[in-house]
Each structure stands twice: as C-alpha cells, then as structure tokens.
Chain A
C-alpha cells in the first residue's frame, strides 16, 4: 500500500489543480448568470447544475465517452497535444472539477449578486470599461463569494469518488485519491486500520479547508469595511 502522505498529497494536487483550472470558467459562468440577460440563460443554468443532480457515475461515464481515448474530444487532445486523461491524475482533476463546478458557480454567483450594481455604474461613469469595472469593482467586492466558492469546490474535489473511479479508474499513484484509497482498503482484508487513518486525514483536511475559508472571508470582509 502507498504511504498515507503520498495519497494525501495526490488528493491535494488533484483538488488544487481542479479548482485552479476551473476558477476562471466558474467566475465567467457566475458573472454571466448574475449579470446578463439573454435567451437560453435557463439552459446554461441547468447545464451548470447538471453534475449536482446527475449520479456521479453517469458524469464519469459521460466524461469517458467525451474525453476518453476514443471520445471525440479525448482523441483530438491525444492526437494534437499528446495529452491523455484516462488513468492519469489529470483526468482525476477533470472529474473533480466537473463535479465541483456547480457548487463553485453558485457561491460565486451569490457573491457577485451581492455587489451593488450602482457601484459598477459609478465605475463606468468614471471611465472604466466593463472589463475594468469587473476586475476593479465587482470581483474585489465579490471576494467573500469567490473565496467560499473556491473552498467549497476544493472540499468537494477532495471527496470526489464516483465520477473519478468511472472515468479514470483506480490507479495507485495516479488516480487513487483519498476516497478511492479508503474504498480500496475496505475491500482488502485487514485494511481497516489503514482506512481509519486515511479517514482521519480526510477529516483533518476538510476542517483545515473550512477554517481557511472562514479566516479568509473574515479578513476580506474586514478589508471591505463590512465588519464580521
């Protein structure tokens, strides 16, 4: 069995990459949903929420169908960039990112919606382009939502199981993250002690993530002058 710290490190790597890479898309999606009105908005909203309501195994299967070596996008990725997602930690990160995306978008959207639009108007009236207003007014003021969105997604990524095992299988050192390792150990005779250790580590990481989120949100709110 792989050492505990290696499994935890893999889980952290997968989750951090998943959050880091999906954050720009999450912010863009949240902004569009919070601030734009267009036909088909309901459709986008539904699409974003799909992983939340679909069984994770089904999401994993869909990812396999699209991003697998034989999938339309997966084949192209492999042929053009030589990138293969199947059975690698990158694939695990993709699965985690997709599963966590709805939670991330929801939290960021709430953060953006809490920003007074009149402040954005004031920024425009002072000569800011829409993009500058977004980066200098909307997003800084939506920071509490951004932080909670990122942390929520991070925690969701750490716990991701179903889509991962379906999409990229259970490869030690590549895709065997904490939940998959715990599952594997429970299937092994006398693996229960090790499983308990890993469960403890998972719990610790979750608490750490929560505490970080709370502290960061508090610091930001203080900076925004809103108190606690």
Chain B
C-alpha cells in the first residue's frame, strides 16, 4: 500500500483561527477505495479538516494532495457535500436545479447547463429515490430529503474522492441506511468517501477506515485496528461508554438513550 498513491495525503496541516489552533500538525493518508469516518468530540476540528483540505479555510501550514497532485489541480476529482444547515433552503430554486449545480464545476465559467446535465441530474435523483420531487421547491423537503438531494448533487460531480460533512445529521433511520448503501456502492466503484461521522455505534457497520481527531490526529487506519477503547479514550477523553465487542443491535441494558450519540459518551 505504501507504494500506491493515496487518494488523500495531508501533511503537517495546521489551521488556526487567529491565535487559536483548531488543527495541529495533521498527517493523514487515506488509501483509494476506502470508506472513511472522521470522528472526534465537538470542537475537534472535523469540519475544519475537510474545509482546509478543500481550500475553504486557509491553512497556517501544511500540504494537501489528492491522488498525488495539489488540490487546485485535482479539483475535478473531488466531490463535496457540505452540512445541510450551511445553505438557505428558502432559496428560489428546485430540486433538479440544485442537483445540476454539481455539474457547474465541470461546465466551467459562463457555460449553461443543458440537456446532458439535466439527464445526469435526473439519473442521480432516481438513484437517491427523489426523482418524483424534481420540480419541488427545496423548502418543501424534509431533512432526510434535503440530504438525499445533496447526495444526488455529489453523485453528478462524478468524483473520485468525496468529502461529506455529517450526511446523517437529522435524517431518519431509513434514509441513513439508504445513504450508507450508496456510499458502499461508491466504494465498490473504487471511489474514496470521507465522512464526518458522530455515531460510534455504527462505525463498524458503515466504515472500513477511520481517523480519530481531537485538534491533533489521535489515530488512523483500518477500523479493525484503530477503533479501540484506548484510542476512543484518547480522542474523546474520560470514559467512553462503548464496548467494542458490543453489537449495535445488542445495546447494554444500562444505556437508555441509544437513539442518539450523546447517550453513549459520558465525559
């Protein structure tokens, strides 16, 4: 694997807001074809890491390579799904139009989307089960539907590496499983998918690679090796109410709040 070019290579990345370091000297290699979770407590810098890789926040130091090249040269290989809450859902546009936005990068400046882009968008909407909603104004969607639309928009980008910021935030279980199936399908096609994730319970089912983050990189690698109680303790600090051998469908009797992640982490 060391001979293969990683899909994402981050070297000595430091990001600071003013004097306050948000990410300290991050080194991270993500091999191609992995489905990776970025995990860590609130304020660990998960979103900032993605944004710094994508050049949306300026790093104080460090280097990012996508498939062996600098990000600005490899932009076309990268797909991005921001947090659902980062956009104004009252914006005057339709579902189909939002999905077509995923093609804007490939279209380049000035060129308008046409029939080809429309067909691509419809195919992607069909894939996420939202084809019937194509003409809807986007404010009329539920949270899960909004997330599916964002996913469809990422699909039409036809990228090699996807960055997704909390795609499971506020979606119901059915949508979550549908999204996971799609992500696994992307992996089967050899794409790399990097997901900011919160739910410790589902890591083993969803992901094969993980980076644990808490301002510094705590650990990273295959889930089987890295997703251990010691590493979780290092990342989250204190006692992590999670037993590695526990199957997700077999919760401990003393954990009442399994519907959402905070119940499982006690500082």
Q: Do A and B come from one complex?
A: no
Q: Residues of B at under 8 Å CB distance from A?
A: none
